[in-house]
Amino acid sequence: MPKIPVRVVSWQEIVDWSYGLAERIIDSGYRVDVIIAIARGGLVPSRILADRLGVVDVISLKVEHWVQTASRNPEARIKYPYSVDLSGKNVLIVDDIADTGDSLILAKDYAKRNFNPKEIRTATLQVITQTTKYVPDYYYLEVKDWAWFMYPWNYWEDVINLVKKLKDSGVNIKNLEELKRAYVDSYGSHPPIDLNIIIDEMKRRGEF
């Protein structure tokens, strides 16, 4: 079994899941006036949902929780707090996945106290029912067992961090072929970006 199970998600899956999520929101009868994207993971799904639902107003809240691939802070926090008047508006808070639920809980509570909306509902592309303490009002896919989902807007960041984890773990890696094998053995999937290119980028950043 991989030490950290990694599931690589494609752009087409994101589009399909977002459209499927939008249909569930439409079927519920909830008319969304404002979408609040939880940055960073909720930004792309929010824009696709806004297009499909016909929502013009999209704002965001920067929630820090997962600071590095498969590594999180003990507590989620709002990094750049602000206030805005959303009186009389139906709000939809969007994130990519509810794994612990902490980001959604924090964002919903913050928006309720600082934005004064008429109603708040939450939505994610996925929910990991095994680990989350909060199930959003809408989601498209239920995940039974925890995995790290590598979304396409995170390919570079995630692969670099996963390579760093291999380096820091003390695994004896002598060449690129051994690195590729160790990556697949540890994460159970192939990297979506060639590791030659990843190493070059890490060198450019002074991280290898």
Is pLDDT at 1 greater than 60 in this prediction? no
Cα–Cα distance for residue pair 191/161, rounded to 1 Å: 12
Cα–Cα distance for residue pair 180/185, rounded to 1 Å: 9
Tokens of 113: 């106290």
CA dihedral 18, 64, 129, 145 (to 10 degrees): 90
Closest CA to 91 of 111, 76, 67, 74: 111
Q: Does domain 6-150 have CATH number 3.40.710.10?
A: no
pLDDT tens-place string over residues 119-147: 999 999 999 999 999 999 999 999 998 99
Supply the pLDDT for residue 172.
80
Tokens of 92: 């939809």
Vertex 100 angle, CA 98 and 104, to 5°: 55
Concatenated DSSP letters of 102-166:
HHHHHHHHHHHHHT--SEEEEEEEEEETTT-S---SEEEEEESS--EEE-GGGHHHHHHHHHHHH
Supply the pLDDT for residue 75.
77
Q: Determine the 3-state secondary structure of 98 from DSSP.
A: strand
Please state, as a whole number, how many other Cβ atoms lie within 10 Å of the Cβ of residue 22.
21
Under 8 Å between Cβ of 166 and 186: yes
In the chain, the percentage of residues whose pLDDT exceeds 90 is 87
Residue scoring higher pLDDT (72 or 195): 195
pLDDT tens-place string over residues 37-62: 999 999 999 999 999 999 999 999 99
Total-model pTM: 0.92
Under 8 Å between Cβ of 94 and 44: no
Say whether the peptide bond before residue 205 is cis (omega within 30 degrees of 0): no
Is pLDDT at 66 greater than 70 in this prediction? no
Give the start-to-end residue ranges of the domains of the chain: 6-150, 155-203
